[in-house]
Amino acid sequence: MIVNLVRGRDASEALQLLDFTFKSGAPFVKKLIASAVANAKQKKPGVDTDSLFISKAAVDKASNAHLRRWRPRAQGRATQITKGVSHILIELDQR
């Protein structure tokens, strides 16, 4: 939902929009976009950061990372605790 909100927008506009988005994933996406802008400045020092926009943004499910902890279940059984993990892809391009 958050990635759909920022896809196709200017990078600076997306960062401002994520400041006021009250979703739990917004700080993670904001940090990722800020890192992508910093990487663009580092790779090409002459790039105009105001002309950067989010050309591609995607989130997909990663493999389940299980903790080495167990949760008790019925009849003396136990199951592993699994945490949901996602891959986030952000690509910037110049207009």
Dist. CA 33–CA 29, nearest whole Å = 6
Mean pLDDT of 3-15: 95
Domain 2-60+88-94, CATH among 3.10.20.30, 3.90.470.10, 3.40.50.150, 3.30.230.10: 3.90.470.10
**pLDDT for the residue 8:** 94
Three-class DSSP category at 55: strand
- The DSSP bridge partners found for residue 40 are none
**pLDDT for the residue 65:** 73
C-alpha distances (whole Å) from 75 to each of 54, 70, 79 are 51, 15, 12
Tell whether the model's pLDDT for residue 18 goes beyond 90: yes
Three-class DSSP category at 73: coil
**If residue 68 lies in a helix (H) or strand (E), which one and from where to where?**
strand 65-72
Tell whether the model's pLDDT for residue 60 goes beyond 80: yes
User: What pTM, to 2 d.p., does this model score?
Assistant: 0.81
Dist. CA 27–CA 45, nearest whole Å = 26
